[in-house]
Amino acid sequence: MALLEIDQLSIAFTRYTSVLRQRTTEVIHELQLSIGEGEIVAVVGSSGSGKSLLAHAIMGILPGNASVTGTLRYNGEPLDAARQVALRGKEIALVPQSVNYLDPLMRVGEQVRSSVDQQTLSLDAQRKVFARYQLADDVERMYPFQLSGGMARRVLLSTAVISGARLIIADEPTPGLHQDVAQETLRQFRELADEGCGILLITHDIESALQVADKVAVLYAGTIMEMALAADFSGSGEQLRHPYTQALWKSLPQNEFKPIPGSQPLAGSLPVGCLFAPRCDHASDECSRLRPETRHIRGGSVRCIHAS
């Protein structure tokens, strides 16, 4: 059984354009994703593709003007708002993308410790995890504004690592960290997964994702175009199912280093058919008419009518 199952998740934002008029823009469309125990699923996508919104939907921390449809299940049971509140920061932990999520008025040691239930164990646990992340002893008494970006990020990671969570959602956890600390962090996620955690690793960096992930979900303009196995990213990408994933793979420096012409469509002005059709070399007439459904192929999934 999957630890987290997301089915047909759509997210729209409503805003007023004048006193009486409002406009609704859908930013996540019919997204499907599941994470099993012991699994790292990387979600890769360029800026604005919806990665952070997906993380926030799982945590139940979307802004008030977001409307959500579809279902989330955690451990086989519906993950509704009440359960999100009950599990958040405990069984389900978020490593947020922005360090602004730290409480500016609380010393960082106390913040990290407050995520562990047994108060007696927590000082020791916090010091251990700080040492692991090369945070000096005096850091626990500092306030967030006294930290560098990289230090603040390591504090956020510490919180997730000692919370005892079974599901960790990490939103771009490595930027601002030195190469070796970033590597160590990825290894640590792998270790947590090997101990049975499920991890959703959000990143725009396919290469770092591939170092530790079991599966890679490719997010484009608010939907998952392909769910591939990490092993599918090899050679010239012939195992990959979607032309966009293949193009992403080829665009890496160690491959053809060939950028994909054009840009991701904006929410609010999406093409009617396949979201990638305007940039796709293989697009046919049908691609611009119909939005492809998700199909399951070779242990992964794809939204492309031409994939086989």
Ligand X SMILES: Nc1ncnc2c1ncn2[C@@H]1O[C@H](COP(=O)(O)OP(=O)(O)OP(=O)(O)O)[C@@H](O)[C@H]1O
Q: What is the contact surface with Ni ion in residues (CB under 5 A)?
A: 51-52, 97
Number of neighbouring beta carbons within 10 Å of residue 107: 16
Answer with the entry of Ni ion, ligand X, none that 273 interacts with (C-beta below 5 to 8 A by kind): none
In the window 254-283, what residues touch ligand X (CB under 6 A)?
267
Q: Read off the DSSP letter of residue 105.
A: T
Cβ(242)–Cβ(302) under 8 Å?
Answer: yes
Min dist CB 171 to Ni ion, Å, is 6
**CA-based end-to-end distance of the chain:** 27
Q: Which of 17, 19, 20, 63 binds ligand X (CB under 6 A)?
A: 63
> Could you say which of ligand X, Ni ion, none residue 64 binds, taking C-beta under 5 to 8 angstroms by partner kind?
none
Q: How far is the CB of 51 from Ni ion (least distance, A)?
A: 5
* Distance of alpha carbon 55 from alpha carbon 181, whole angstroms: 23
Question: Residues 18-37: x/- map of binding to ligand X (CB under 6 A)?
Answer: ---------x----------
- Residues sharing a CB contact under 8 Å with residue 112, sequence separation 6 or more, in sequence order: 126, 129, 130, 140, 155, 158, 159, 162
Cα 239 versus chain centre, distance: 23
Within positions 76 to 135, which residues make up the interface with ligand X, using CB under 6 A? 97
The nearest distance, CB 121 to Ni ion, in angstroms, is 33
Q: How far is the CB of 48 from ligand X (least distance, A)?
A: 4
Q: Which of 34, 49, 223, 246 binds ligand X (CB under 6 A)?
A: 49
Comparison of 132 and 204: residue with beta carbon closer to ligand X: 204
Q: Give the residue, chosen from 29, 51, 113, 279, that forms a contact with ligand X under the rule CB under 6 A.
A: 51
Q: Which tokens go with 111? A: 């913040």
Do 169 and 20 touch, CB atoms closer than 8 A? no
Site for ligand X in 200-219 (CB under 6 A): 204
Specify the residue, 14 or 148, whose C-beta has the smaller distance to ligand X: 14
**For residue 88, what is the DSSP state?**
B
The count of chain residues that interact with ligand X, using the rule CB under 6 A, is 14
* Comparison of 87 and 202: residue with beta carbon closer to Ni ion: 202
Residue (of 273, 295, 271) closest to 284 by Cα position = 273
By DSSP bridging, strand 215-220 and strand 198-203 are: unpaired
Residue 10 makes contact with ligand X by CB under 6 A: no
Q: Which amino acid is at 157?
A: L
DSSP string, 165-198: -SEEEEES--TTS-HHHHHHHHHHHHHHHHTT-E
Among 31, 50, 122, 161, interactor with ligand X by CB under 6 A: 50
Q: Where does this chain bind ligand X (CB under 6 A)? A: 13, 27, 45, 47-53, 63, 97, 204, 267
